Amino acid sequence: MTLKAFQAMVYGRVQRVGYRRFVLDSAQELGLSGYVKNERDGSVTIFAQGDEAAIEKFIEMLKSPPSPAYVKSIDIREVKPRPAIKYFTIKPSPLHEELQEGFGAMQSIFMDYWKEFRDYRNEFREFAKRTDENFRMIMEKYGEISEKLTTILETLTRESRETREMLNETMKLLKEAIEKLSR
């Protein structure tokens, strides 16, 4: 296998958005060696080497990173391979810059979730409104049913009292009739 190498300067939104991690994962997936590092001007430098087909595929992958990263342009030049480089790595920046990078990437992810949640806010409001309307209807039905039950109970109580009075009156009359017959 003939080792081929290139160096690229990538411009756009490529720092604090997880672009270097994307480059690392892509290079490792293709079996390339090299490195990626941030530059002070906001660009990213990439050195990669490997077989020609993998290099060509890698260059195409670099142009289309996942959001929120965005590649405006890439300057690529062929360079001599460096057989001493065996793996693909991220060359770290000073610690404070790496922390900013990590927080920046997390902020981008958070903002994506926040935007997605924001899209659902109206749906949640509509759901709450429907729930409130359903609850109000249930309470109205409960009120109607409660009134009907109260009316039924009052009727049963009244009719039961009238029936008891009629039975008492009938018992009294029967008792009197029996007493007359027994004399």
Per-domain boundaries in the chain: 4-93, 107-183
pLDDT at 106: 66
13, 16, 21, 38: which one is catalytic? 38
> What mean pLDDT comes out for the span 104-122?
69
Cα separations (Å) of 48 from 66, 109, 130, 162?
Answer: 20, 28, 57, 102
pLDDT at 50: 96
Q: What gap in Å lies between CA 48 and CA 36, rounded to an integer?
A: 8
The yes-or-no verdict on residue 96 having pLDDT over 80 is no
Closest CA to 41 of 77, 11, 74, 65: 11
* 168 is annotated as an active-site residue: no
- pLDDT category at 19 given cuts 50, 70, 90 is very high
DSSP letters of 59-122?
HHHHHSPPTT-EEEEEEEEEE---TT--SEEEE---HHHHHHHHHHHHHHHHHHHHHHHHHHHH
Topology classification of domain 4-93: Alpha-Beta Plaits (3.30.70)
Computed over every residue of the chain, the mean pLDDT equals 87
Q: How, if at all, do strands 70-79 and 44-50 pair?
A: unpaired
* 38 is annotated as an active-site residue: yes
Backbone Cα Rg of the chain: 42
20, 122, 125, 130: which one is catalytic? 20
Percent of the chain with pLDDT over 90: 43
pTM for the model stands at 0.57
pLDDT at 124: 78
> What mean pLDDT comes out for the span 43-49?
98
